[in-house]
């Protein structure tokens, strides 16, 4: 097992300078960087084996198919899915959720039914369900939170016999917190609801076992875990996939096409229309192998160490307010905050002038911003290559924000 403290050396982009400072990248919740190992693997694939998977009998088509299907096997093991057919490649979490909403939601939800989500959902796991409800006449119901990001007492009771779908983030991309995942899934199943878990912010940072979780759908994006942009995953229990109609239509997802009718390919190919992102799948497999060099437990423990180091220091700074829990044990990889009298975009720009990359804005969670009356915030988010030195550089740059804006206290 490799020591995670060495990981930063694998990332060429972290050698960059910006505004005369070492580049400090603290926006991994938005997208992560790629290590040399992943870059070399995809480069080698493109140089030697690039072809169109599942199409053709020549060497490059065969090698491309092997690489693409090998990536599926690796993803299956990584999240402990029972069957390789349960892994559908998509572009990202958003596309995975759209697939579920269209191929499952639209067909299983009707007027009088409910879809239950939390107020902290990313728009990808919210607008999709809004749309299903608008089309079907079902009701979208929200579970609300206390001031520190915990579900308010009684909110889980909204999961009742009218609930057909329960969808929520495994880890919130703003609060950095998990809801009581096991209990929610149990409650959902107890009333016969289908449970969709958005793993965009959890899969990169902790061991995932979809069988132990027992969720019906689980989705995530490669680009948040050292793979390239444009490759994502939708996991679903096999019986769901067998029964669901396809989402996109076209090449590769068919079995036999006649002038007026078509029969569809077996799962998972029924859901993978058109030339797939084999390059992305190769990076995802390489990224998983890379993360496994450290082990997900070490990654999680290391990030906890970083959060425990930086969170109390941020909280202690005057005029700085952290969203969600202030307890490092409840935070995973993400800390969102505001600074009195300074717009988050200005905060991010000032940090950038010190070489520190942080996200600013509504983080694609506008209902949460409206609920807390904090329409925008800054967010630092970390990954395997983040170091204490990076957090020190961030804390130092943060001290300059209010003075730069003309405040003296």
Ligand X SMILES: Cc1ncc(COP(=O)(O)O)c(C=O)c1O
* Inter-residue contact 13 to 33 (CB < 8 Å): yes
| Contacts of residue 230, Cβ cutoff 8 Å, sequence gap at least 6 | 91, 92, 222, 223, 277, 280
* Inter-residue contact 151 to 194 (CB < 8 Å): no
Q: Does 198 bind ligand X (CB under 6 A)?
A: yes
Q: In the complex, what is the shortest distance from the CB of residue 90 to ligand X, in angstroms, rounded to a whole number? A: 9
Q: Does 381 bind ligand X (CB under 6 A)?
A: no
Q: How many CB atoms lie within 10 A of CB 407?
A: 13
Q: Does 201 bind ligand X (CB under 6 A)?
A: yes
Q: In the complex, what is the shortest distance from the CB of residue 94 to ligand X, in angstroms, rounded to a whole number? A: 3
Task: Cite the beta strand spans of 78-206 per DSSP E.
Answer: 87-90, 114-118, 139-143, 163-169, 194-198
Integer Cα distance of 181 and 215 in angstroms: 10
Q: How many CB atoms lie within 10 A of CB 77?
A: 12
Active site residue 358: no
Q: How many residues bind ligand X (CB under 6 A)?
A: 12
* Inter-residue contact 352 to 333 (CB < 8 Å): no
Site for ligand X in 233-272 (CB under 6 A): none
Stretch that binds ligand X, among 198-206, 234-242, 309-317, 397-405 (CB under 6 A): 198-206
Q: In the complex, what is the shortest distance from the CB of residue 221 to ligand X, in angstroms, rounded to a whole number? A: 3
Q: In the complex, what is the shortest distance from the CB of residue 173 to ligand X, in angstroms, rounded to a whole number? A: 3
Chosen residue from 49, 221, 265, 325 binding ligand X by CB under 6 A: 221
- x/- letters, 149..188, toward ligand X (CB under 6 A): --------------------x---x---------------
Q: In the complex, what is the shortest distance from the CB of residue 107 to ligand X, in angstroms, rounded to a whole number? A: 23
Q: List, in sequence order, the alpha helices (H) in 18-110.
A: 36-48, 59-78, 93-100, 106-108
Q: Does 122 bind ligand X (CB under 6 A)?
A: yes
The tokens describing 48, both together, are 């030697």
Q: Does 203 bind ligand X (CB under 6 A)?
A: no
Question: Element (H or E) spanning 365, and its range?
Answer: none
Give whichever of 167 and 401 is closer to ligand X, judged by the CB atom: 167
Residues in the chain: 409
Integer Cα distance of 336 and 176 in angstroms: 8
Give whichever of 122 and 205 is closer to ligand X, judged by the CB atom: 122
Strands 194-198 vs 163-169: parallel, antiparallel or unpaired: parallel
Integer Cα distance of 87 and 105 in angstroms: 19
Give whichever of 350 and 384 is closer to ligand X, judged by the CB atom: 384
Integer Cα distance of 140 and 127 in angstroms: 10
Q: Does 283 bind ligand X (CB under 6 A)?
A: no
Q: Which residue has the tokens 């079907």?
A: 136
Stretch that binds ligand X, among 197-205, 299-307, 341-349, 393-401 (CB under 6 A): 197-205
Give whichever of 64 and 127 is closer to ligand X, judged by the CB atom: 127
Chosen residue from 76, 118, 125, 360 binding ligand X by CB under 6 A: 125
Bond preceding residue 268 cis, omega within 30 of 0: yes
Q: In the complex, what is the shortest distance from the CB of residue 242 to ligand X, in angstroms, rounded to a whole number? A: 25
- x/- letters, 68..97, toward ligand X (CB under 6 A): ------------------------xxx---
The tokens describing 305, both together, are 């160490």
Q: Does 196 bind ligand X (CB under 6 A)?
A: no
Residues involved in catalysis: 364
Residues of this chain that bind ligand X (CB under 6 A): 92-94, 122, 124-125, 169, 173, 198, 200-201, 221
């Amino acid at each position: 097992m490799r020591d995670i403290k060495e990981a930063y050396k694998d990332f060429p982009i972290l050698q960059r300078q910006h505004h005369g400072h070492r580049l400090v990248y603290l926006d991994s919740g938005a997208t992560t960087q790629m290590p040399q190992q992943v870059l070399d693997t995809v480069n080698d694939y493109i140089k030697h084996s690039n072809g169109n998977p599942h199409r053709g009998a020549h060497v490059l088509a065969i090698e491309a198919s092997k690489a693409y299907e090998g990536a599926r096997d690796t993803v299956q093991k990584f999240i402990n899915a029972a069957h390789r057919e349960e892994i559908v490649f998509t572009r990202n979490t958003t596309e995975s959720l759209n697939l579920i909403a269209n191929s499952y939601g639209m067909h299983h939800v009707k007027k009088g039914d409910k879809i239950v989500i939390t107020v902290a959902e990313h728009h990808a796991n919210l607008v999709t369900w809004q749309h299903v409800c608008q089309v079907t006449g079902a009701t979208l119901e929200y579970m609300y939170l206390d001031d520190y990001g915990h579900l308010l007492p009684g909110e889980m009771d909204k999961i009742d016999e009218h609930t057909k779908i329960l969808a929520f983030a495994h880890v919130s991309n703003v609060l950095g917190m998990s809801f009581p995942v096991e209990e929610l899934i149990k409650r959902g199943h107890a009333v016969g609801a289908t449970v969709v878990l958005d793993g965009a912010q959890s899969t990169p940072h902790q061991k995932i076992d979809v069988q132990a979780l027992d969720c019906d759908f689980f989705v995530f994006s490669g680009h948040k875990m050292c793979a390239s942009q444009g490759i994502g995953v939708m996991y679903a229990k096999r019986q769901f996939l067998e029964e669901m109609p396809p989402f996109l239509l076209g090449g590769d997802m068919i079995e036999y096409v006649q002038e007026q009718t078509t029969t569809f390919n077996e799962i998972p190919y029924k859901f993978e229309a058109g030339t797939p992102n084999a390059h992305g799948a190769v990076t995802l497999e390489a990224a998983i192998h890379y993360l496994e060099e450290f082990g997900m437990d070490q990654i999680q423990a290391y990030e906890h160490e970083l959060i425990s180091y930086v969170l109390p220091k941020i909280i202690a700074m005057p005029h700085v307010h952290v969203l969600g829990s202030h307890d490092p044990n409840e935070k995973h990889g993400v800390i969102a905050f505001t600074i009195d009298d300074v717009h988050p975009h200005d905060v991010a720009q000032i940090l950038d002038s010190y070489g520190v990359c942080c996200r600013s804005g509504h983080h694609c969670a506008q209902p949460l911003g409206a609920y807390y009356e904090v329409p925008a915030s800054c967010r630092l988010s970390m990954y395997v290559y983040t170091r204490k030195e990076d957090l020190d550089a961030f804390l130092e740059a943060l001290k300059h924000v209010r003075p730069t804006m003309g405040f003296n206290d």
